[in-house]
Amino acid sequence: MSRGLKISDLIIPDPAPTSSDDDLESSGGWSLTSSVTDYVYENGRRYPGFGPDGAYLYPNDDRENERLDLQHHVFRLLKGGDLHTIPNAQFKNAKVLDVGTGTGIWAIDFADEYPEAKIRGIDLSPTQPEWVPENVVFEIDNLEDQWNFTSKFDYIHMRMMLGSIANWPLLIKQAFENLSPGGWLESQEVLTCAYCDDGTLPPDCNWKKWEKLYVDAAREFGRPIDIAMDLKGWYEEAGFVDVVEEVVKCPLGNWPADRGQKENGRYLRTSLSEGLQALSLATFTRVLGWKADEVEALTALCRNDLNNRAYHGYFKFYFVRGRKPEEKKPVGSIGRSNKWRKYNWEESSGPSDFRSSSSTLDTLTDRRDGGNA
């Protein structure tokens, strides 16, 4: 069962938090060319060398990879351990694509859970482990370029691609074109905007200052991060049907009274605390012209806000999925004999409209509210 909260639910603050709430306990090959491993080192962090110069603002070093694995755990917590939201999915002999696979942890977990599926993970960086399940392959490629796969996929998975993509409608359209009829695309993203239901998060706190700078810099750079609310519309524009948008709350910190929400918040807070430098350093120095020590000073103040139990903020996580329509069968082929005749257009009183009347499922729509409820 999912431990994430739907957007309509309220998170109840813990009236008597203790120091123990802060403890974060642990739960139980390809050929590389020089262009792939020719990394960029900047301000003490390592960045990808593959792809357009300077187009990717986030590091790929060991510190970042550890944070990405922790982030994976947060997503699983929010969905009760589930790796996807596809209804009635079996994935027997399915071809699966993981876009922006990162450390490969999602692809590996998926391969273990669905051993009859074939999973292909694509990323700019060769940071995946050497030993993986036999039904997983990893490739280094830039999926902002034209997709040239030789076969279609049954399921395409994208997660936390915010800030990495310049043309989202094009990416989703390419995914649509590379799915088999009836196949699914799923995006899992987050709005890095702290919401608050009880007015305890000051609008002028350091976190709110940081998030505005971060969002503005990403848009100026041409790779926006505030894209989660637009995914559903892009899916529909690309031609997907049965589009579903689910929004889940996750607290920023251990302030909720509910034990499960408290754990979710601890993991999210730790992931953000560890990742603030990675998210900010290249973005602020390359785009906004800040000095590295100025970035460090601001992120330190943001960590203080994350650890402030009096601030009852939370993030909104978006889970969006859509299905590619089935191909239409030839008119007159259902329930008829194999004898065919040439159709006489003069017999028709007018042109027929064979467009699908499939409806779009919209289970939950999140309205823009400026970041504070």
What distance lies between CA 245 and its chain's CA centroid? Answer: 13
Q: For residue 159, tell me if it sits in a domain.
A: yes
Rounded Cα–Cα distance for residues 198 and 281 (Å)? 32
Decide if pLDDT at 281 tops 90.
Answer: yes
Average pLDDT of every residue of the chain: 83
Q: For residue 364, tell me if it sits in a domain.
A: no
Q: For residue 356, tell me if it sits in a domain.
A: no
Q: For residue 288, tell me if it sits in a domain.
A: yes
| Sign, CA torsion 142/143/145/150 | positive
Q: For residue 360, tell me if it sits in a domain.
A: no
**Residues of the chain by 3-state class (helix, strand, coil), percent to 5:** 30, 20, 50
Beta strands in 124-236 (DSSP E): 136-140, 153-159, 179-196
Phi and psi based region of residue 51 (left: phi greater than 0; alpha: psi -120 to 50; beta: remaining)? left
Q: For residue 88, tell me if it sits in a domain.
A: yes
Element (H, E) at 121: strand 118-123
Q: Mind listing the pLDDT tens digit for each residue in 143-186?
A: 899 999 999 999 999 999 999 999 999 999 999 999 999 999 99
| Reported pTM | 0.80
Decide if pLDDT at 211 tops 80.
Answer: yes
Rounded Cα–Cα distance for residues 181 and 41 (Å)? 43
Q: Give the structural domain span for 29.
A: 5-327
CA distances from 75 to 68, 101, 328 (A): 11, 14, 36
State residue 174's pLDDT score.
Answer: 97
CB 109 within 8 A of CB 124: no
Element (H, E) at 37: helix 34-37
What distance lies between CA 107 and its chain's CA centroid? Answer: 14
Q: Mind listing the pLDDT tens digit for each residue in 24-44?
A: 333 333 444 455 667 888 999
Decide if pLDDT at 2 tops 60.
Answer: no
CB 39 within 8 A of CB 46: yes
Q: How many domains would you assign to the chain?
A: 1
What CATH number corresponds to the domain at position 181?
3.40.50.150
3-state secondary structure of 369: coil
Q: Mind listing the pLDDT tens digit for each residue in 77-125?
A: 999 999 999 999 889 999 999 999 999 999 999 999 999 999 999 998 8
- Alpha-carbon dihedral angle through residues 69, 71, 74, 78, given to the nearest 10 degrees: -120
State residue 8's pLDDT score.
Answer: 53
Question: Residue 189: which pLDDT band, with cuts at 50, 70 and 90?
Answer: very high
CB 311 within 8 A of CB 325: no
Rounded Cα–Cα distance for residues 53 and 328 (Å)? 44
| 290: amino acid identity, one letter | W
State residue 12's pLDDT score.
Answer: 66
Q: For residue 184, tell me if it sits in a domain.
A: yes
Q: Mind listing the pLDDT tens digit for each residue in 321-351?
A: 999 999 876 655 444 434 443 334 344 334 4
Angle subtended by helix axes 105-113 and 62-78, to nearest 10: 40
Q: For residue 187, tell me if it sits in a domain.
A: yes
What's the full length of the chain, in residues? Answer: 373
CA Rg value for the chain: 23
